[in-house]
Each structure stands twice: as C-alpha cells, then as structure tokens.
Amino acid sequence: MRGPHNIWRLIRTGATFERTGAMKVALEAVEAPPRLRLVARIMGWPFKWLGYKGDPNLPPVTRAITALGPAYIKFGQVLSTRPDVVGEELADQLRVLQDKLPPFPTEVAKRMIAAELDRPVDEMFFDFSEPVAAASIAQVHSARRADTGACVAVKVLRPEIERAFRRDLDAFHFAADMIERLSPASRRLRPTDVVKHFEGVVMGELDLRLEASAASQFAANTAGDTGFAVPQPIWSMSSRRVMTMDWAEGVSIGDPDAIRAAGHDVVAISERVLQLFLSHALRDGYFHADMHHGNLKVAANGDVIAYDFGIMGQIDEYTRRVYAEILMGFIRRDYRRVAEVHFEAGYVPADRDVNEFALALRAVGEPIFGMDATHISMARLLAYLFEVTERFGMQTRTELILLQRTMVVVEGVARSLNPAINIWETAQPVVEKYIRENLGPRAAIRDLVRTVMILGDFGPRLPELLRSALERQAAPVAPPEPKSRMHIAGLATVGLALLAVGVAVGQIL
C-alpha cells in the first residue's frame, strides 16, 4: 500500500502548494528545470480543490507548509539551513517559519509520561501546568519536582508523531526518487540527499534521549563560560518520549526593553551572545545551531541561558582552523591569505588561479569594510564568500552552510539588542585567541605529540605490519618493485623517527 498512499499524499501536497500560490514560488526558488516545473503544475492544478487553504496572512510557502502539518513544518525548518538548495530568499522565509501548533490535551501528556517513566505523574510532579509551548514534534509543560520542589520543564512528544513522520518521510523519499527519474537535470539539487539529511535530523529529534545527551554535552563544554548557562537534563525523569530539564527562568532575549528594565546592559549581552557562539564553534566544534530569540533568555543575574537542543552543529578540528584563518584573513583584509587557505584546505580545485581568487575575495571584502560599523555584516560576507567560492568550483560543505546560517541568526539576535554593534571588532578577540592557541608553535608541538601517541598505539604491531606488507609485495601475483620496498621501509623509518621525536618532546614538555 505504500505506492497508493505516497501518490495520494503527494497529490494533496501539490494541491496545497497550488492553492496557496506556493508552487510557483518554490519552483523558481530552487531553479527547477522546465520539465519538472511542467510536471509539478500539471499534477497540482487539476487537484487544486483538494489542497488545504492554510493561513492567508502567511507568505505562500510558509502558508502551504504549516497547512500540511508537522513533518512539512520541520522539513521547512531544515531547508532553512540549506540556502544552497532553496536559495537565500526562500531560506530566509523558512528560517522564520512559525513552529507553533495547537497543543494536545494535558491529560494525554500525563498518560504518556506515566507510561514512559512507569510512575504516576503525581508521584513525580506537582503544579503540572497546561502546555507553555507547542511545536511540531513536542510540547512543553512546567512543573515542580515532588522530591525537591525545584521547577522543571517537561517535554513530551506528540502522540503518534513517530508514525506520522515515518509516513511523510516515505512520501518524501518517493517524491525525491520520482523527481530524479523525471528530470535528470534536477539531480544538481540533490533531492535524495536532502531528504536523507532531513531524515537524520528528524530521527534524532524523535528520541528525546539524544536531545538530553546534547544538552548534557553542551553544558559540560560550556561549564567554564562566564555569563552563560545551560539547563541540565534530569536523566531519572527522561526517556525516549519524555525529557525533563531544569527550568530556564529569565526574560526573553527578544525583549530588549524588559532586559533594560531588569537592570542589564543590552550592549554587553549583545557582544556576549556573538562571542559565545564563535567560542563554541571554534573552541569546541560543537555549537547550538538554533540560537534564535525563542531559545535564549537572560537570567536575573545577567547570564544568557540557552535551551532547546534539537539542532546542534559539529565541525571537526581541521575545519575549525580553516574557518578561523578565513575569518582572521578578512579581519586583517589579507585576501591573498584567505585565498591560500581555501586552496590548502582543498575547498577550491588546485587548477584554479589563486591570484584571481584573491582578487574575487577582495571584491567581496572591501565594499563591506567601506560601510559604517552598523552595516558591517559577517553573515553577509559569508554569504558572498560562498557565492564566490561556488563560481571557483568549491563543492558545497553542509557543516559550513549550517555554520553560516547560525551566524546569520546570532548576528540578528545581537543587532536586535544593539543595532550599532561592530560585528568584526566583537569577533576579533575570540578568533585571535583561537589562532594563538591552535595555529602557533605550541599547537604544532601538541599536534606532533598527538600524532606520535597514535603511532605509539601501533608500536607493538609495527613488526607484524611491516612483515605483512613485505610479504604482500613479495607475492607472485604482484612482483615487488625496489621502489615499493623502499617506500615501505621509508614509512617505517619515518614512523620510528616520529616516535623518537615524540618521546623527546614529551620529556621536554
């Protein structure tokens, strides 16, 4: 029955997009090939009357998505982090997508909590509230712990949400496969990969244990950050479908007047938000990828509190170093170095001209640095940067796209608190500190020691590995060549030399 169900769901989807006027907008945003546009319009127009009406006060695409339900809302949110797929304009619309749905009854939530935690709700909580927030996947209640009286937030998945998402995911996969079959030119949009990426994000959010784990890891990483706090998960009251955390009490960061009224310095908070994000991304390689106004509060003591850890970003150590060097190069207006970093990282094909690339980067940076401080935008620069690198053959890197989109959101939060903030001056101390600690001589020695330690793990096996390699080279099916033996012997010599250097360095340190 999967085929008929998917076809019906796609017809209803196409009809809704057609009825709300979203079909044309969406197809133009992704620059869909003419053949695909024709097929979509033909499939949507006759069934227009079957489509959901949606909220006429919303823009066409967000109107259609919210009318189609939770899976589509979440899909829109994920696509907002992929301007490489949907374009900058549509990504901006999707980024502010309303993620609010009617709540389900509190009694249903209580029954689910009791079933999940195998204890009556009244034994665990008192003052259990009506929903304080209702989103596409879950809703949140406030309560007090029966054992300590502490205020907590209890997040509960929507009933049958897993089944609903699996049903729509099946339809998304079916649609992606159909699109690629009908229009080979559309493969540049990578519809199958986009759906797989979405599936990975959603499956993680449908297991609240993973969000609790993300919160725990983020709290551990940021424990030493002054002026920043992360609510801790309460593991004994959490499960796959229920997550209990410390309550985040404070003023919404989206209300500058209330923050001032509470006696806090909005300028200092605006700078702190930006510097914290950069610090988490560069120092830890693990950052909150959904730092909008609704997920940030200012506590009574002035701390910035982050919550809702459904979307987290990760970048490896090498990528962090590349990103820091790119930022520092722009801060110093050293476009040649920025170009070299792109080539060294392999982001731009080696057959391109580094001098031409440096000139293109200058065309990106100089107009921005010529602006007044209130108009200097790191987010805008990163967007322009990705446009230039695409022209020079740079392949899309999902982790950098997510980083860029989060930078846009964080910059928006900072400017809402302090419109005159100079993004570059605020970012410079964080970037310079990271570069001092990770790109200088001490960092090189640390990297060497780490490499030697890894080689040391293989030390006891080196003779065996060397013997096996030599035997393979000596096998009749592959006559050994002197240079091959020399290569293997050379590798072994280098490995032993590194081991010796590592021991020496270790003694010095």
Catalytic positions are: 290
Of 342, 324, 334, the closest CA to residue 428 belongs to 324
Nearest to 453 by CA among 501, 488, 417: 501
Question: Reduced to 3 states, what is the DSSP secondary structure of residue 37?
Answer: helix
DSSP symbol at 283: I
d(C-alpha 144, C-alpha 128), whole Å:
7
Phi, psi of 262 (to 5 degrees): -80, 0
- 296 and 413 Cβ atoms separated by less than 8 Å: yes
List phi, psi (to 5°) of 252. Answer: -60, 135
Q: How far is CA 320 from CA 10, 93, 420, 439, in A?
A: 41, 29, 28, 11
Residues 216, 233: contact at Cβ < 8 Å? yes
Half-sphere exposure of residue 271: CA atoms within 13 angstroms, side-chain side: 14
- Rounded to whole angstroms, the Cα distance separating 133 from 150 reads 20
Q: How far apart are CA 119 and CA 140, in angstroms?
A: 19
Give CA–CA dist 269/501, Å, rounded: 46
Q: Do 48 and 19 form a contact (C-beta atoms < 8 A)?
A: yes
Dist. CA 500–CA 502, nearest whole Å: 5
Greatest alpha-carbon span in the chain: 83
Phi first, then psi, for residue 154 (nearest 5°) are -115, 115
**Dist. CA 156–CA 137, nearest whole Å:** 9
Element (H, E) at 305: strand 304-306
Record the tokens describing residue 281, joined without a space. 């991304």
